């Protein structure tokens, strides 16, 4: 694929990277620690030999055990994660840690188990999954929901995987399985440099290395996740005991020692582009010299999931007052979930200057931004990044006791800092573009592609009538967006949480210009040659979705779900998120009914 014409996202401060940057030399790591790290890698080499002797059916049974240990650790997992982020017992946002931690892990474990079972029986993970054509000679697979319960829990939400242009259905089906098509071929030991912001990310990266690549894993956690290590060790015991996984702590020097270790065959990082560049090219004058000479310091393969500046394209239409409020709250959730410390937190709202409801929408957005529940901005040095944004835009308004910033770009104002900097903090910007209908949408897509740094995730909000009026033009615009995840009336975090979808930057990242990363993760159907994932959600929640359901005679076109539990202002979000996770733990339908009752009070 041709690399996207994108700049590397600028991060407001090096500390905002989701993985510890490398630094120092071997002598910066004490001898005793080097010996422990060497021993862990030696254990993994023995584990790699054991892994290669497991049959697919045995691997599936191993993942059944992993489900049980993860479920047993789920409550502690959510408690430790919430407390470490300043969310004390009873805080209305503690549900975020249930969903982004044990929930995300449990659904991924189950999805990998299902793929392993299918492969063990001689099938393809794509068997029984509907495929059809997407714009631009692309094939797409409709991979969510795959089970009735998924459609019930997340009513009205759907997910598609789009393959690279030219891939046929037969090719996609035969290649599904990746390394599990040759399970006895070991890829050695992989190093995962874990993210520091979301507790499931390191675990999901470990699972993908193991299943998609047949690599046993050394996981180095980010120092912000040190408190999670005992939880990880209990939850992941079925992988640790036979030597398929080792978990270590450490900062930059430890990361530098491990990336250069002869016993490590591959590196995967979830973080930010400056960290990736430091690993691959070093820093300072040496990095400049290496780039000129085309001689990276890292000589082994590396994959990466990195951040960027995520757009939220608001397509003008005729919206009710309730629509304006709901979608304003939707945008605020995209920015403020996890205090904005997310690689796909929505950062730039692209709004039509010609939309008659523009002022009303902005008023609703300001109100929602101001009234969202207070929370700590917990990631290291986030206050400095907020101050940097305030310095870039002195007219920006602070909300939430000064912990969140709203930047409304004035006509002819320079938006470069907002468009090029991944603030990784509660900074939300609004940029106006001219036009209505297809004219606006095409301009917004071009702006997102050409002006905003990164290619990880893009969001589009559009009412059903406007989308119907645009017809094929809307789908062509979606195809034109150069992003690895695109969410229509949903948030790209839904793509992150859905294991049958892929997660990563748009194809084309290179060592020289990594943009939002190289390769994908999650991808529990183990699909090859994937270009992007697309999610679609309901524009209106229940009960306002009822007319749409009756008109189309299809639940997939509407929703029985009221305000989703991940909305930051959902009154029962914490209870519902915990309830959804507990259902994934034990399948207790009676308790799920009670959870749905709570959901309707959101």
Strand, helix or coil at 154? coil
- Burial of residue 262, with CB atoms counted within 10 A of its CB: 0-12 exposed, 13-18 middle, 19 or more buried: exposed
User: Cβ distance 316 to 399 under 8 Å?
Assistant: no
Are residues 246 and 323 located together in one domain of the fold? no
The stretch 586-600 carries a mean pLDDT of 91
Tell whether 396 is covered by a domain: yes
Are residues 379 and 413 located together in one domain of the fold? yes
Q: Which two tokens stand for residue 320?
A: 């009710």
Distance, CA of 561 to CA of 598 (rounded, Å)? 11
pLDDT at 15 exceeding the cut of 50: no
Tell whether 420 is covered by a domain: yes
| CATH of residue 118 | 3.40.605.10
Tell whether 2 is covered by a domain: no
Distance, CA of 379 to CA of 514 (rounded, Å)? 24
pLDDT at 321 exceeding the cut of 60: yes
Are residues 293 and 326 located together in one domain of the fold? no
Peptide bond into 145 cis (omega under 30): yes
Number of domains in the chain: 2
Confidence of residue 330 (pLDDT cuts 50, 70, 90): very high
- pLDDT for 281 equals 97
pLDDT at 555 exceeding the cut of 80: no
Task: Write out the H or E segment, with its range, that includes residue 533.
Answer: strand 530-536
- pLDDT for 139 equals 98
User: Cβ distance 565 to 534 under 8 Å?
Assistant: no
Distance, CA of 96 to CA of 94 (rounded, Å)? 5
For residue range 45-80, list pLDDT tens digits in order: 999 999 999 999 999 999 999 999 999 999 999 999
Domain end among 305, 329, 363: 305
Tell whether 487 is covered by a domain: yes
pTM of the model as a whole = 0.95
Are residues 349 and 245 located together in one domain of the fold? no
Domain end among 255, 279, 305: 305
Distance, CA of 443 to CA of 451 (rounded, Å)? 11
76-98 burial, b at 16+ Cβ within 10 Å, e below that, comes to ebbbbbbebbebeeebbbbbbbb
For residue range 223-265, list pLDDT tens digits in order: 999 999 999 999 999 999 999 999 999 999 999 999 999 999 9
- pLDDT for 556 equals 65
Strand, helix or coil at 227? helix
| CATH of residue 458 | 3.40.309.10
122-160 burial, b at 16+ Cβ within 10 Å, e below that, comes to eebbbeebebeebeeebbbbbbbbbeeebbebbbbbbbb
Are residues 352 and 237 located together in one domain of the fold? no
Q: Rounded to the nearest 10 degrees, what angle do helices 573-586 and 104-120 cross at?
A: 30
Strand partners, 457: 485
The stretch 372-399 carries a mean pLDDT of 94
Tell whether 557 is covered by a domain: yes
Distance, CA of 388 to CA of 381 (rounded, Å)? 11
Task: Identify the DSSP state of 102.
Answer: I
Are residues 301 and 324 located together in one domain of the fold? no
Q: Which two tokens stand for residue 273?
A: 């582009």
Nearest to 9 by CA among 509, 524, 460, 563: 509
Are residues 320 and 287 located together in one domain of the fold? no
Confidence of residue 548 (pLDDT cuts 50, 70, 90): confident
Greater confidence (327 vs 599) lies with: 327
Are residues 300 and 353 located together in one domain of the fold? no
- pLDDT for 18 equals 41
- pLDDT for 247 equals 98
For residue range 302-317, list pLDDT tens digits in order: 999 999 999 999 999 9
Are residues 367 and 251 located together in one domain of the fold? no
Nearest to 424 by CA among 365, 347, 361, 481: 347
Nearest to 470 by CA among 499, 493, 447, 441: 441
CA dihedral of residues 220, 111, 484, 196 (deg, nearest 10)? -20
Tell whether 78 is covered by a domain: yes
Task: Write out the H or E segment, with its range, that includes residue 213.
Answer: helix 200-213
Are residues 344 and 407 located together in one domain of the fold? yes
Domain end among 258, 284, 305: 305
For residue range 472-489, list pLDDT tens digits in order: 999 999 999 999 999 999
Distance, CA of 311 to CA of 328 (rounded, Å)? 14
pLDDT at 355 exceeding the cut of 90: yes
Q: What does the mean pLDDT of the chain come to?
A: 94
Q: What percent of the chain has pLDDT over 70?
A: 95
Residue 426 belongs to domain spanning? 310-570
Are residues 271 and 388 located together in one domain of the fold? no
pLDDT at 298 exceeding the cut of 80: yes
Are residues 374 and 257 located together in one domain of the fold? no
Tell whether 107 is covered by a domain: yes
Q: Which two tokens stand for residue 539?
A: 């524009």
Strand, helix or coil at 223? helix
Tell whether 252 is covered by a domain: yes
User: Cβ distance 585 to 103 under 8 Å?
Assistant: no
Confidence of residue 585 (pLDDT cuts 50, 70, 90): very high
């Amino acid at each position: 694929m041709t690399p996207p014409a994108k700049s590397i996202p600028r991060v407001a401060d090096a500390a905002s990277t989701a993985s510890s940057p490398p630094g120092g030399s071997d002598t910066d790591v004490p001898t005793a620690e080097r010996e422990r790290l060497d021993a862990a890698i030696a254990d993994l080499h023995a584990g790699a030999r054991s892994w290669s002797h497991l049959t697919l059916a045995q691997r599936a049974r191993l993942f059944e055990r992993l489900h049980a240990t993860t479920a047993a650790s789920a409550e502690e997992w959510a408690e430790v994660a919430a407390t470490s982020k300043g969310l004390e017992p009873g805080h209305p946002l503690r549900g975020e840690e249930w969903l982004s931690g044990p929930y995300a892990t449990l659904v991924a474990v189950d999805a990998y188990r299902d793929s392993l079972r299918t492969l063990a029986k001689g099938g393809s993970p794509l068997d029984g999954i509907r495929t059809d054509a997407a714009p631009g000679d692309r094939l797409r697979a409709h991979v969510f929901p795959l089970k009735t319960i998924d459609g019930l829990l997340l009513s009205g939400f759907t997910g598609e995987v789009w393959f690279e242009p030219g891939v046929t259905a037969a090719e996609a089906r035969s290649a599904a399985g990746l390394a599990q098509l040759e399970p006895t071929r070991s890829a050695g030991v992989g190093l995962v440099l874990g993210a520091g912001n979301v507790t499931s990310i390191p675990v999901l990266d470990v699972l993908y290395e193991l299943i998609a690549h047949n690599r046993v894993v050394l996981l180095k956690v980010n120092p912000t996740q040190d408190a999670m290590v005992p939880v990880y060790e209990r939850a992941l015991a079925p992988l640790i005991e036979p030597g398929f996984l080792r978990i270590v702590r450490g900062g930059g020097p430890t990361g530098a020692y491990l990336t250069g270790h002869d016993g490590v065959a591959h590196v995967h990082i979830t973080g930010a582009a400056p960290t990736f560049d430091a690993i691959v090219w070093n820093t300072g004058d040496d990095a400049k010299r290496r780039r000129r000479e085309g001689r990276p310091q890292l000589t082994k393969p590396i994959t990466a999931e990195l951040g960027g500046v995520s757009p939220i394209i608001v397509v003008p239409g005729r919206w009710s007052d309730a629509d304006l409020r709901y979608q304003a709250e939707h945008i605020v959730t995209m920015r403020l979930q996890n205090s904005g410390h997310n690689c796909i937190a929505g950062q730039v709202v692209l709004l039509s200057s010609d939309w008659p409801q523009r002022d009303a929408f902005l008023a609703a957005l300001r109100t929602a931004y101001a009234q969202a529940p207070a929370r700590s901005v917990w990631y290291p040095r986030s206050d400095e990044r907020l101050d940097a944004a305030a310095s870039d835009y002195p007219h920006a308004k602070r909300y939430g006791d000064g912990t969140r910033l709203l930047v409304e770009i004035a006509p002819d104002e320079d938006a470069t800092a907002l468009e090029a900097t991944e603030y990784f903090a509660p900074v939300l910007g609004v940029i106006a573009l001219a036009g209505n209908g297809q004219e606006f949408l095409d301009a917004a897509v071009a702006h997102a592609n050409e002006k905003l740094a990164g290619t990880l995730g893009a969001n589009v909000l559009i009412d059903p009538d406007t989308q119907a009026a645009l017809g094929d033009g809307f789908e062509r615009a979606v195809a034109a967006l150069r992003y690895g995840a695109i969410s229509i009336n949903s948030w790209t975090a839904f793509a992150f949480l859905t294991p049958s979808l892929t997660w990563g930057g748009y194809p084309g990242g290179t060592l020289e210009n990594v943009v939002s990363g190289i390769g994908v993760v999650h991808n529990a159907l183990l699909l090859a040659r994937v270009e992007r994932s697309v999610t679609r959600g309901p524009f209106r929640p229940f009960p306002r979705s009822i007319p749409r359901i009756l008109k189309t005679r299809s639940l997939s076109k509407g929703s029985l779900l009221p305000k989703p539990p991940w909305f930051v202002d959902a009154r029962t979000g914490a209870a519902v998120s915990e309830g959804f996770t507990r259902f994934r733990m034990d399948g207790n339908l009676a308790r799920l009914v009670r959870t749905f009752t709570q959901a309707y009070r959101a």
